Structure 1
Amino acid sequence: MRYRKLSEYLKEKYGERVQRIVIFGGFSCPNRDGTKGKGGCIYCDATGSGFTTLMKLPIREQVVRLKEKYEKRGIKKFIAYFQAFSNTYAPVEELRKKYEEALIDESIVQLSVSTRPDLVSESVLDLLEEFKERVDVSIELGLQTANYKTLEKINRGHTLAEFIDAAVRVKRRRIELIVHVILNLPWDDMIDVIETAKILSALDVDGVKIHSLYVVEGTKLAEMYKRGEIKICSLEEYVNRVIVFLEHLSPNVVIHRLVADPPREGTIFGNWGKSKIEIINTIEREMERRNSYQGKKFVYLNR
């Protein structure tokens, strides 16, 4: 195995296959409502990447329906994953109520919460520690890139320092930490890709979700793309960036994904017209051809 796959990690941890149930919690984002900015990140669609959720249903009903669907396939253990927008952007009591709604029975073995680095207060971490007494807990932070200038260009509304601060405090609480990165942002080069891998390794993050940049109608990125202000790298370049990133990443980090899942509707550009599995297979074949593997160049930390 040339990289540490999520599916294998979950089987090791829980003894069998585990399915993520994607939940829409009804949250917003301070980078959209005017608190930090308006319009959100330049690539963020109207659903906040929640286009796969049953967003019109109450939280409990979303979990029940999806759980029943997956149980028909023989799956018995699940992760309640709050995905869309910023899932810690509410008073703690409201967060507690929403998270509780998702834990419908003992088949939910993990609570997973996706949010922004600037929305990880100590009170939020206190709450997540409470839930740790009943289920496993993980938190997903969007970083996207270690290049602070690119963070400004994509209108993230936070800096690299805020991400590092949040990551350190999450790890201090022994909460599993997964980080999202986009490896083919138009303003980044291979140095940025490598530096992102190095910083995540130095912070001892537990997992990484690698995304490919896609362009969705109605976003600022779509306007820039149509005007020819940005160019998205070739598939060959993306594959190369993923492999180099993995080579510089700690071998302990679990890889949750290698490529994004663009929305089925409204996508102007997504994954070079290829399916997700095609790109994954391409990456794996190229890693084999190069005799590449995760952590191959992980020699830069004094540990």
Structure 2
Amino acid sequence: MRADAHSNRNFPWGHQRRYNDFPTFFRRKFNERVQKISIDAGFTCPNRDGNRGTRGCTYCNNKTFKPTYCNLENSVSSQLEKGVAFFRKKYDSIKFLAYFQAYSNTYAPIEDLRKLYEEALAYPGVIGLVIATRPDCLDNEVLDYLQALSEKHYVMVELGIESVHNDTLKAINRGHAWEESVRALEETSKRGIHNCAHMILGLPGESRDNLLQQADIISRLPVENLKLHQLQIHKGTVMAKQYADTPEMFHLFSVDEYQELVVDYLERLNPEIIVERFVSSAPPEMLIAPRWGLKNFEFVAKVEKRLEERNTWQGRLFQKL
């Protein structure tokens, strides 16, 4: 397919944006605005409670992505109430997804999961769940339950995969192997559970070639949605100490360098994969480096501009096996 800056032809995902973007997909799917409401339901992580480790991942500080209304003293319904009230001030007509975000949100007895998820689904205006978890926290009992929920509601499992290389996963103390990520993607897909792969670009020891190889590998797995973000060094993490002691371990991207990497990554990415995010923005008071000073939408605009300048698009270099 030929595309240029003046083309009126649609790309394989059915519109003129040069990548298969998540907001457009969601608007088409639901025919209205749908907003995630973050929830902290008090979960922990097998990499913190001793099951697989106690120190957690070297980069992890959950405070970097938890809204102020998420509080363990508040019930699921109470947190949803605050989140819904916040967004209803902005939008008249809107539906919601309950986003179980902090730590590993399938890491609990099935009875506890049923209570929490079903409390969320019972809240007025909530039409589904987004459940952030680890690939090693999806046993068959949990998968069976999520499959049953998926027959009545929108359910997405967001999997913290981070890297396709076992050496990297070991170095960042991730506590699971790449093979477990493959299983989680395959099991959610075949059961009709929406999935999202979460990947970090720029982890220590991974070259640019490694990251482009990652795009090739992810493209040949049953990944429905993809979240990318640049490596950030957050205060209060093992990685923050590593960065202070041995900064030569790290290559932190400039904005322009990361923008170019994202475009190259997109070119190799399966056009059927829906791209939800390119970057992550931690609160400034918690961020050590890199300090770009860009909002997410500003980076998206830069990527779209560069795609047009290079007359390229998601999947241009993708080849099915």
TM value normalised by structure 1:
0.94
In the TM superposition, residue 148 of structure 1 has moved relative to its aligned partner by: 1.7
In the TM superposition, residue 106 of structure 1 has moved relative to its aligned partner by: 5.3
Find the partner of 2:249 among 226, 230, 236.
Answer: 230
One-letter code of the match for 1:55?
A: N
Residues 226, 276 of structure 2: 8 Å contact kept: yes
- Structure 1 distance, partners of 2:185, 2:218, is 9
Runs of at least 4 residues of structure 1 off by over 4 A?
Answer: none
Aligned length: 301
Structure 1 unaligned segments of length 5 or more: list them.
Answer: none
Residues 77, 123 of structure 2: 8 Å contact kept: no
Secondary structure, counterpart of 1:63 in structure 2: helix
2:39 corresponds to which residue?
A: 23
User: Which deviations, in whole Å up to 9, do the C-alpha atoms of 1:89-135 show, x marking residues without a partner?
Assistant: 10000011111121134521221111000111110111112212331
Secondary structure, counterpart of 2:285 in structure 1: coil
One-letter code of the match for 2:198?
A: H
**Per the alignment, do residues 52 and 189 of structure 1 end up closer, same or farther by CA in structure 2, a change over 3 Å counting?**
farther
1:115-264 maps to which residues of 2 (within 5 A)? 115-227=133-245, 228-231=247-250, 232-264=252-284
One-letter code of the match for 1:286?
A: R
What is the Cα-based RMSD across aligned positions, in Å?
Answer: 1.7
In the TM superposition, residue 51 of structure 1 has moved relative to its aligned partner by: 4.9
Relative to structure 2, which stretch is displaced further, 19-28 or 198-207?
Answer: 198-207
- Structure 2 distance, partners of 1:13, 1:176, is 13
In the TM superposition, residue 195 of structure 1 has moved relative to its aligned partner by: 2.2
Q: Is 2:126 the partner of 1:108?
A: yes
- Structure 2 distance, partners of 1:53, 1:146, is 34
One-letter code of the match for 2:295?
A: S
In the TM superposition, residue 20 of structure 1 has moved relative to its aligned partner by: 0.8
Which structure would you say has the larger Rg? 2
Residues 150, 192 of structure 2: 8 Å contact kept: no
In the TM superposition, residue 139 of structure 1 has moved relative to its aligned partner by: 0.5
Q: Is 2:63 the partner of 1:47?
A: yes
Residues 49, 85 of structure 1: 8 Å contact kept: no
Structure 2 unaligned segments of length 5 or more: list them.
Answer: 1-16
